Amino acid sequence: MSEEELFKGYPRGWFVVELSKELATSEVKPIKYFGRDMVLFRGEDGSPRVLDAFCPHLGAHLGYGGKVVENTIRCPFHAWRFDETGRCVEVPYAKRIPAKACVKSHPVVEKQDLIFMWHCPHGSDPDWEIPTIEEYGSPGWTEWDVSLLHIKTHPREVVENLADKAHFGPIHGTKIEKFSNEYNGHIGIQRSKGIAYPRGGGEDPFESQSTYYGPGYMLTVMKSVLPNILLLAHTPIDQNSLHLRFGAMIDQSNLKEGGEKFAAQYKENLLIGFREDIELWENKVYRPRPMLCDGDGDIGALRRWYATFYDNDTAA
């Protein structure tokens, strides 16, 4: 199977679909990811849920005008109600609920201010857990400060950065001294050490470890002047566009006076660096058989690892 065919469809894994603070109790939102219309809502018990969007009755989109009733969602059209498993639990004007009245539900986990949805093309259950970030919420650390970016590219381009050792110089102006990758099951790691040259001047020696937990959720632990953890969570919308949530949490405990401005600038610098990647992705083509040389990272190993999330041979 060619790599073009291999990366058709959507990968299996946990994906961020919203920030916790963007979904109030009883709020309903239409969402579209993995080429699929869905509805995200928060029940009165505070838990978020995701169901497929279209009502089995006459096809209304539950995300437009649907209302949360207790922990169910009520269709705007004829008021059928669906619980978190997607089963219809009430038809207000009928004596019997049709046995097959249900919509597909998707596993959802809310963790450390992020709402994750499990996506599997053929409906299997989650087979790994989202890790806990020990530093999150501990003294000195900020919460996530997240920017939502809409990028017109295929997710494999974003993931490929993990192994692309040679782009740090030309794109990010960073000098890389050490670089390695490691893959283990659903986890993909990049370790690097080098010197960054911030726009404001000066040098920032850093050591970082970027870890993908599955195909769409990456955390970078960065040891530098300002220790921080970066969030890079991307979720495919369709075959050629995705949402990328780029965030940072910063350890401000050692910041001196005026440090907040410095921290804001630092974050801005990270985002500027990141926008350079984006411009590249939006305009490049994909090379299934790239011409590589000895200074490149091991792109082949990265692709083999990423392909494990696209079990197309078993896809329905």
142: number of CA atoms within 13 Å, CB side? 22
307 contacts 22 by C-beta, under 8 angstroms? no
Nearest by Cα to 276 from 164, 121, 130: 164
- Candidates 1, 58, 264, 292: give the one binding ligand FES (CB under 6 A): 58
Strand order in the sheet with 13-19: 13-19, 114-119, 108-111
| Footprint on residues 106-145 left by ligand FES (CB under 6 A) | none
Report the residue number, 161 or 210, with the smaller CB distance to Fe ion. Answer: 161
Cβ-proximal residue to Fe ion, closest one: 277
The residues, any chain, with a CB within 8 Å of residue 312's CB and separated by 6 or more, are 1, 5, 6, 8, 9, 121
Report the residue number, 36 or 191, with the smaller CB distance to ligand FES. Answer: 36
Q: Tokens for 210? A: 């970027």
| Amino acid at position 134, single letter | E
Per CB under 6 A, the segment of 58-66, 221-229, 246-254, 280-288 that binds ligand FES is 58-66
Per CB under 5 A, the segment of 32-40, 132-140, 155-163, 253-261 that binds Fe ion is 155-163
Binding map of ligand FES across residues 75-94, x = CB under 6 A, - = no contact: x-xx-x--------------
Report the residue number, 77 or 136, with the smaller CB distance to ligand FES. Answer: 77
Least gap, CB of 54 to ligand FES (angstroms):
8
Least gap, CB of 76 to ligand FES (angstroms):
7
Report the residue number, 38 or 230, with the smaller CB distance to Fe ion. Answer: 230
Report the residue number, 100 or 289, with the smaller CB distance to ligand FES. Answer: 100
Looking only at the bridges linking them, the beta strands covering 175-184 and 187-196 are antiparallel
The residues, any chain, with a CB within 8 Å of residue 16's CB and separated by 6 or more, are 114, 115, 116, 216, 217, 233, 235, 245
Per CB under 5 A, the segment of 158-166, 181-189, 208-216, 289-297 that binds Fe ion is 158-166
CB neighbour burial string for 16-50, b if at least 16 within 10 angstroms, e if fewer? bbbbeeebeebebbebebbeeebbbbbbeeeebbb
Least gap, CB of 234 to Fe ion (angstroms):
13
277 binds, among ligand FES, Fe ion, none (CB under 5 to 8 A by kind): Fe ion
# binding residues, ligand FES (CB under 6 A): 9
Least gap, CB of 26 to ligand FES (angstroms):
19
Report the residue number, 67 or 193, with the smaller CB distance to ligand FES. Answer: 67
- Candidates 23, 118, 157, 161: give the one binding Fe ion (CB under 5 A): 161
Q: Is 55 among the residues that bind ligand FES (CB under 6 A)?
A: yes
Q: Is 157 among the residues that bind Fe ion (CB under 5 A)?
A: no
The residues, any chain, with a CB within 8 Å of residue 146's CB and separated by 6 or more, are 19, 231, 245, 246, 247
Report the residue number, 1 or 272, with the smaller CB distance to Fe ion. Answer: 272
Separation between Cα atoms, residue 144 and residue 248, nearest integer Å: 5
User: Which residues form the interface with ligand FES (CB under 6 A)?
Assistant: 55, 57-60, 75, 77-78, 80
